[in-house]
């Protein structure tokens, strides 16, 4: 059963075994698991519920309707980084590139060694199997990947870097190249297409347009939530909804979940709520090629290259209107470059970072997200740019932007492009992007150093559980959506057994 602002006007109160805050990767997977185990579930989502045919393939529309804070969320470091997040039934799975990795065994082994035995590789493996089957994970085919990805593959092969096509949850992908605008074909397996309908088949009630304002606590125990019902087009409050529940699951994301806790001073005896933020800082660059490859056509991110431990190169693309807004080009040279956009190949790189950031209460109810890029990770970003430059030239690029500076001066030789990419390049000279926020309510055995117990229940507040990327004890180094879903199922099973 699905409801939204049109049907939730006025004041309402409902009862459920479990109320879940957030309808993204974690919330969707947790809802399906709990509902299949016979619990009554109500899921609240701040954003709206859209069908694939309602996505207009418009960047402006997507920013205003599918992105948290209308795409204005940033990380404050030595410079400012964009920090995108999804908003709507489906969460960030509505706007991601559908890349699917299991967490590296070395990461899960470290978590298990720290007392989180339920997250050991052998324990999570069958859950990963379930997730992959549910969301439709397959390896990308070259016909879907198309020219930009194949160009980067050519460079990787020439250098012997051992790259490969990624696995994605997009079983019906047609390669239209606009994953981050909402999938208009319905070919991407975002959780609104699988886990959430599965939950609904077992009785879950999904309430969109509901922004949770308060977690209800009685005698120290979480017993429900209060939400404002908001019309997404007018931003007008049209109703209030209270859900009484035996358990509350926060799945509002790495920024949204700690914000809810900080606003009420909940579950923070350890003073760890909002701390330990990892973001997979990323950089990217591009080069001119002789052939028209129309990089915006085909899967945005279908090929990856493990450059070194902790550094993963991945292709990316951007349609002309998006690419143009990010460039400082002007004059005759700028027009020349824009006319040659069909000949530009693109590649990015992310690093497995330290947990060096923090989410705090900011002004006007918004989150203040800060981050300190370590010297180690800054050097990794520089090596990622050097790797991309080498791949582009090995594939046949004729001019390459090194990825630092104002984007006006391009290099005509590989040596000229590599020359400025020295270890002393400063953070503010790079165009850093915050890819995958994690870790702000981390799971752990020690209640003095973590927010959530190994079960997924908060140390301080009985009945209050967390099931999103904020749980992660450390950075993954790979795209996290499958691990978010798997950890959420792990938490849901513990809740159902409690």
| Residues labelled catalytic | 436
Closest CA to 167 of 203, 131, 207: 131
Closest CA to 19 of 220, 227, 239: 227
Query: What's the rounded Cα separation, in Å, for the pair 397 and 154?
Result: 11
Q: Which two tokens stand for residue 105?
A: 């065994």
Query: What's the rounded Cα separation, in Å, for the pair 165 and 140?
Result: 6
Q: Is the CB of residue 454 less than 8 Å from the CB of residue 487?
A: no
Closest CA to 383 of 343, 430, 344, 438: 430
Q: Is the CB of residue 310 less than 8 Å from the CB of residue 352?
A: yes
* Chain Cα centroid distance, residue 421: 28
At a CB cut-off of 8 Å and minimum separation 6, what does 153 contact?
163, 165, 303
Largest CA distance in the chain: 69
Q: Which two tokens stand for residue 47?
A: 């954003």
Give a three-class secondary structure readout of 256-310. Answer: HHHHHHHHHCCCCCCCCCCCCEECCEEEEEEEECCCCCCCCCCCCCCEEEEEECC
Residue with tokens 């077992």: 202
Q: Which two tokens stand for residue 146?
A: 């198309």
Query: What's the rounded Cα separation, in Å, for the pair 314 and 300?
Result: 9
Helix (H) or strand (E) holding 334: helix 331-339
- Region of residue 368 (left: phi > 0; alpha: psi -120 to 50; beta: else): beta
Q: Is the CB of residue 227 less than 8 Å from the CB of residue 421?
A: no
- Please tell me whether residue 359 adopts helix, strand or coil conformation: strand
Residue with tokens 């490969």: 164
Phi, psi of 114 (to 5 degrees): -85, 10
What are the strands, taking DSSP E only, across 46-133? Answer: 74-76, 80-82
């Amino acid at each position: 059963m699905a409801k939204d602002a049109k049907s939730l006007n006025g004041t309402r109160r409902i009862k459920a075994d479990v109320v879940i805050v957030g309808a993204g990767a974690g919330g969707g997977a947790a809802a399906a698991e709990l509902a299949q185990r016979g619990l009554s579930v109500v899921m609240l989502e701040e954003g709206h519920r859209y069908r694939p045919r309602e996505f207009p393939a418009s960047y402006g529309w997507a920013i205003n309707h599918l992105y948290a804070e209308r795409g204005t969320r940033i990380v404050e470091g030595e410079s400012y980084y964009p920090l995108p997040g999804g908003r709507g039934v489906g969460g960030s799975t509505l706007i991601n590139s559908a890349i699917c990795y299991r967490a590296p065994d070395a990461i899960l082994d470290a978590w298990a060694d720290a007392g989180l035995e339920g997250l050991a590789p052998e324990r999570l493996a069958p859950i990963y199997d379930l997730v992959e089957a549910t969301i439709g994970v397959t390896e990308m085919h070259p016909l879907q990947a198309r020219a930009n990805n194949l160009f980067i593959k050519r460079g990787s092969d020439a250098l012997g870097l051992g790259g490969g096509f990624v696995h994605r949850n997009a079983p019906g992908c047609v390669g239209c190249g606009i994953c981050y605008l909402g999938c208009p074909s319905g070919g991407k397996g975002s959780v609104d297409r699988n886990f959430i309908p599965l939950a609904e088949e077992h009785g879950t009630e999904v309430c969109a347009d509901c922004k949770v304002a308060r977690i209800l606590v009685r005698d120290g125990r979480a017993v429900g939530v209060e939400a404002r019902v908001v019309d997404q087009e007018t931003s007008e409050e049209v109703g209030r909804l209270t859900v009484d529940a035996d358990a509350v699951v926060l799945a509002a994301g790495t920024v949204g979940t700690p914000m809810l806790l900080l606003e009420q001073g909940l579950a923070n005896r350890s003073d760890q709520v909002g701390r330990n933020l990892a973001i997979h800082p990323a950089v990217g660059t591009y080069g001119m090629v002789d052939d028209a490859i129309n990089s915006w056509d085909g899967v945005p991110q279908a090929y990856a290259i493990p450059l070194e431990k902790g550094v993963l190169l991945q292709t990316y693309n951007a349609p002309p209107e998006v690419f143009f807004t990010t460039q400082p080009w002007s004059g005759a040279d700028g027009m020349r470059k824009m006319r040659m956009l069909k000949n530009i190949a693109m590649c990015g790189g992310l690093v497995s970072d330290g947990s060096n950031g923090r989410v705090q209460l900011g002004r006007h109810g918004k989150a203040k997200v800060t981050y300190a890029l370590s010297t180690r990770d800054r050097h990794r970003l520089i090596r990622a740019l050097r790797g991309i430059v080498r791949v582009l030239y090995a594939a046949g690029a004729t001019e390459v932007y090194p990825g630092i500076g104002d984007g006006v001066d391009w290099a005509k030789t590989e040596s000229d492009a590599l020359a400025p990419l020295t270890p002393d390049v400063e953070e503010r000279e790079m165009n850093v992007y915050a890819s995958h926020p994690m870790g702000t309510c981390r799971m752990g055995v020690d209640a003095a150093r973590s927010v959530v117990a190994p079960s997924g229940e908060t140390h301080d507040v009985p009945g209050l559980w967390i099931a999103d990327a904020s749980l992660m004890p450390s950075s993954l180094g790979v795209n996290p959506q499958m691990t978010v879903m798997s950890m959420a199922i792990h938490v849901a099973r513990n809740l159902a057994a409690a």
